């Protein structure tokens, strides 16, 4: 059974028929890379996969079940990273991570520092987020992603603002996620060098 | 890697703690509505005969129109920041009841912007000539009224979430819907000032607050979801 | 059986055809009833013993006021249908209701003011009926303003549907709170025409006007809704065939 699949998705944004009969099927341990020019509908597709956008036609399935039938259950298994980080500048890094994951699960001691170490921001826990650069904030968002411990990742341009080290980090996190049985849908121009058989591609016109 | 391991109450508590902490870091923002309230109600004596005996007659009106406008102003603080930095859509996607979380946010918002009005209102009433004995009644009316206003205002804020320059539109949407709160609240205040029993309008005010509380979870979730599209 | 009919109505081409054929069946009777009501009300009914001939304005005012409220309910209901069953036609109907409802509300206000002038000497009084109508006008304007503020029609449909549903629950509360407020202060009330106490010669033209206005609303709504459906579906295939038909 596929982890996440889409069947004949149609979506209009105003007058524009953005998604036209799109379908795909993704197994656990696989990553779907979505590419396309600006305005081709990458963000729209990802948000529709999250259930944030209503579909005119077509369905999205998670482990065989229509996501519209039990959205809360699906969302509990999903981690979304959009263009915005969803972090608060007035809180410290650790507060952000604590409140971000606290909506889903309690953090065990040491998890937070381990997550920060995995994105190469050790010792930044007490720093107000406002003082971090855009790239560092993106890394904090990635740390939150790992802490949420969800099997499905939907990432929209996750490498934006990241330097080459950051991009390598992202790749490493993605590989680890796929290796442990997770699935991911990633909209990015970055070349994703993953293990054979793990990568699917979807190009939007 | 399964269902949210945290129950709704714990998640809501986490969210409310976050919002409170954020508000404390930016204490000035939360004080603006009550500051506005004080300024606006101060304008009335300046525009009228400053004798306390004549001010007493308009005190209910001044108080409630001021409260209505202050709540309107405060609505900007409810969703705007979270919508802009992506925190709101993270809330929508966390697997907990979105309606419940939004009501929790509204509750914290009332605590920060509505409760100050409730505490300051009786003092303003005194300054406008109301007798000391009226303070308890005025406080009760403002308590129920500001809760009702927060609930209906939040729905308006949710509907106008994704729109630019939405201040006047928000006012056009919320003020007519809030008229019953104004009518019963001002009536309760007027009766309190005259020393008469205020049970009747207070019950009606409570009924309205309960109605809005019943309606708003659905309306909030629906409205904010549309705003997040 | 009813469900089948319900869902067929949700199909834009079906709605377009049926609406086109139904409109004259509403429009012509509306005209006939309206003329009959006006003749009866303006000509045949005796002058009111208290208010003379001035009361005759209620033959326009009362139906307009009643309709302004009914249209809001129709608007909220079709918006709710559109939201729940995701029916574009229902949203088109709701969108068409708003300007019609606002116009009837404005008419009720204008005729109320015209009535007030000979009765109390001023054009405006804060009587409960007029105040209620004014607030209803604000609700209509708010609905239309919210719709206009969204670029995407689908989002405008859904957002305004939520507003209409919240509004329709609040409307009775607003109405009764205004009546309550007014009763406290003994402000003058404009029209105390209790229907049971009206003689038949006064009542019958009123009912005729009410029926006429309602049918007129129906015809107007179907016409506007057809135009709205046409606008929304302008890229669809069935449009050219439908236009050839008409």
Q: What tens digit of pLDDT does each residue of C6-47 get? A: 777 788 888 888 888 888 889 888 988 888 888 888 777 777
Q: What pTM did the predictor assign?
A: 0.92
Is the pLDDT assigned to residue B124 strictly greater than 50? yes
DSSP state of A69: T
pLDDT tens by residue, C182-237: 877 655 554 554 444 567 777 888 888 999 999 999 999 999 999 999 888 877 77
Chain B residues with CB inside 8 Å of A73's CB?
Answer: 3, 95
* Token pair 């009643």 in the structure block, residue: C66
> What is the predicted pLDDT for the residue at C14?
86
Mind telling me how many Å the CA of A52 is from chain C's nearest CA?
13
Domain residue ranges in chain B: 8-227
ipTM over 0.90: yes
Give the C-alpha distances (Å, rounded to integers) separating B62 from B43, B68, B152, C48: 9, 10, 21, 42
Q: How far away is chain C from the Cα of A14, in angstroms, using its nearest Cα?
A: 5
Q: Give residue ranges of B with CB < 8 Å to any C CB.
A: 152, 155, 159-160, 162-163, 166, 169, 172-173, 175-177, 179-180, 183-184, 187, 204, 208, 211, 215, 219, 222-223, 226-227, 229
Least confident piece of the model among B148-162, B165-179, C113-127: C113-127
In terms of Cα–Cα distance, which of B28, B113, B40 is closest to B78? B113
* Percent of chain A with pLDDT strictly greater than 90: 70
Nearest residue to B183 via CA among C187, C177, C186: C177
Measured in angstroms, the CA of B6 and the nearest CA of chain A are apart by 5
Same domain, A95 and A191: no
Task: Please indicate, yes or no, whether residues A9 and A66 belong to a single structural domain of this protein.
Answer: yes
Scanning C69-108 for CB atoms below 8 A from B yields 83
Nearest CA in chain A to B4: A104
The nearest alpha carbon in chain C to A17 belongs to C235
Same domain, A63 and A154: yes
Look up residue A181 and give its two tokens.
């049985």
Domains and CATH numbers, chain C: 13-245 (1.20.120)
Q: What is the mean pLDDT of residues C59-68?
A: 91
Output the pLDDT for position C193: 47
Q: Which residues of A touch C153 (CB under 8 A)?
A: 14
Residue A38, pLDDT score: 82
Domain ranges, residue A69: 1-77+150-205
Predicted confidence band of residue B40 (pLDDT cuts 50, 70, 90): very high
Asked if residue A152 lies in contact with residue A174, where contact means CB atoms within 8 angstroms, the answer is no
Domain end position, chosen among A129, A148, A167: A148
Q: What is the CATH number of the domain that holds A11?
A: 3.40.50.300
Structure confidence at residue C1 (pLDDT): 58
Q: What is the mean pLDDT of each run of 10 residues along chain A (205 residues)?
A: 88 84 91 88 93 90 91 93 93 93 88 91 92 94 93 94 92 93 91 84 85
- Closest residue of C to A14, CA-based? C152
**Which of A133, A148, A163 is the last residue in one of the domains?**
A148
C-alpha angle with apex A172: A167 to A177, nearest 5 degrees? Answer: 125
Query: Do A113 and A182 reside in the same domain of the chain?
Result: no
**How confident is the model over A25-73, as pLDDT tens digits?**
999 999 999 998 888 889 999 999 999 998 888 999 999 899 999 999 9
CB contacts of A52 in chain C (<8 Å) are none
Instruction: With CB atoms and an 8 Å threshold, state whether A80 touches B1.
Output: no
**Could you tell me the pLDDT band of residue B183, with boundaries at 50, 70 and 90?**
very high
A132 and A173, same domain (yes or no): no
How many domains does chain A divide into?
A: 2
Torsion, CA A131, CA A135, CA A138, CA A140, rounded to 10:
-50
Last residue of a domain, one of A130, A148, A166: A148
Q: C-side interface with A, Cβ within 8 Å?
A: 86, 151-154
Residues A180 and A191 grouped into a single domain: yes
Contacting partners of chain C (3+ CB pairs under 8 A): A, B
Residues A136 and A173 in one domain: no
Could you tell me the two tokens for A60? 């999205």
Flag if B85 and A151 touch (Cβ within 8 Å).
no
Q: What is the mean pLDDT of chain C?
A: 86
Examine the domain organization and report whether A159 and A199 are in the same domain: yes
**In this structure, are A72 and A2 located in the same domain?**
yes
Give the end-to-end CA distance of chain B in Å, rounded to a whole number: 27
């Amino acid at each position: 059974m596929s982890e996440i699949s889409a069947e004949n998705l149609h979506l209009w944004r105003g007058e524009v028929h953005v998604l036209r009969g799109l379908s795909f099927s993704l197994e656990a341990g696989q990553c779907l890379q979505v590419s396309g020019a600006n305005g081709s509908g990458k963000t729209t597709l990802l948000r529709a996969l999250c259930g944030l956008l209503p579909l005119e036609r077509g369905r999205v399935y998670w482990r065989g079940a229509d996501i519209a039938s039990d959205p809360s259950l699906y969302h509990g298994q999903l981690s979304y990273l959009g263009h915005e980080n969803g972090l608060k500048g007035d809180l410290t890094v650790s507060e952000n991570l604590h409140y971000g994951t606290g909506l889903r699960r309690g953090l065990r001691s040491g998890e937070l520092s381990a997550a920060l170490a995995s994105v190469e921001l050790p010792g930044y826990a007490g720093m107000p987020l406002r003082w971090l650069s855009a790239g560092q904030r993106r890394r904090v968002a990635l740390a939150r992603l790992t802490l949420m411990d969800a099997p499905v990742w939907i990432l929209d341009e996750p490498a934006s603002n990241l330097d080459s080290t950051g991009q390598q980090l992202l790749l490493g996190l993605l590989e680890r996620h796929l290796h442990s049985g997770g699935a991911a849908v990633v909209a990015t121009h970055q070349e994703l060098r993953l293990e054979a058989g793990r990568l699917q591609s979807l190009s939007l016109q | 890697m399964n269902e949210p391991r945290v129950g709704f109450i714990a998640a809501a508590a986490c969210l409310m703690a976050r919002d409170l902490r954020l508000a404390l870091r930016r204490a000035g923002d939360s004080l603006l509505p009550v500051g506005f309230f004080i300024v606006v109600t101060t304008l009335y004596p300046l525009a009228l005969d400053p004798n306390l005996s004549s001010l007493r007659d308009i005190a209910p009106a001044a108080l409630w129109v001021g409260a209505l406008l202050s709540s309107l102003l405060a609505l900007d603080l409810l969703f705007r920041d979270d919508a802009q930095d992506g925190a709101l859509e993270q809330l929508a996607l966390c697997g907990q009841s979105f309606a419940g979380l939004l009501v929790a946010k509204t509750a914290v918002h009332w605590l920060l912007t509505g409760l100050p009005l409730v505490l300051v209102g009786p003092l303003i009433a005194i300054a406008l000539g109301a007798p000391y004995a009226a303070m308890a009644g005025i406080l009760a009316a403002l308590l129920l009224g500001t809760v009702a206003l927060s609930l209906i205002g939040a729905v308006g804020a949710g509907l106008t979430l994704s729109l630019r320059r939405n201040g006047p539109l928000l006012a056009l949407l919320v003020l007519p819907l809030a008229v019953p709160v104004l009518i019963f609240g001002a009536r309760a205040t007027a009766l309190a000032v005259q020393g008469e029993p205020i049970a009747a309008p207070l019950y009606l005010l409570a009924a309205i607050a309960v109605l809005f509380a019943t309606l708003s979870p659905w309306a909030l979730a629906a409205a904010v979801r549309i705003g997040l599209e | 059986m009813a469900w089948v009919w319900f869902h067929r109505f949700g199909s834009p081409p079906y709605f377009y055809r049926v609406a086109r054929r139904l409109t004259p069946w509403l429009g012509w009777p509306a005209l006939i009833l309206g003329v009959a009501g006006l003749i009866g009300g303006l000509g045949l009914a005796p002058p009111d013993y208290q208010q003379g001939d001035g009361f005759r304005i209620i033959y326009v005012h009362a139906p307009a006021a009643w309709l302004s409220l009914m249209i809001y309910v129709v608007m909220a209901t079709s918006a709710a249908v559109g939201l729940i069953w995701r029916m574009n036609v229902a949203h088109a109907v709701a969108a068409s209701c708003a300007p019609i409802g606002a116009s009837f509300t404005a008419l009720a206000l204008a005729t109320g003011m015209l009535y007030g002038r000979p009765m109390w000497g001023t054009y405006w009084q804060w009587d409960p009926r007029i105040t209620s109508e004014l607030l209803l006008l604000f609700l209509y304007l708010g609905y239309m303003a919210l719709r206009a503020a969204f670029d995407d029609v689908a989002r405008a449909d859904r957002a305004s549907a939520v507003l209409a549903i919240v509004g329709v629950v609040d409307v009775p509360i607003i109405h009764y709170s205004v009546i309550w407020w007014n009763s406290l202060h003994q402000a003058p009330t404009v029209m105390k025409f209790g229907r049971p106490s009206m003689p038949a010669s006064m009542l019958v033209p009123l009912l005729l006007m009410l029926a006429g206005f309602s049918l007129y609303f129906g015809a107007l709504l179907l016409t506007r809704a057809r135009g709205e459906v046409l606008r929304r579906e302008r890229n669809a295939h069935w449009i050219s065939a439908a236009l050839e038909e008409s």
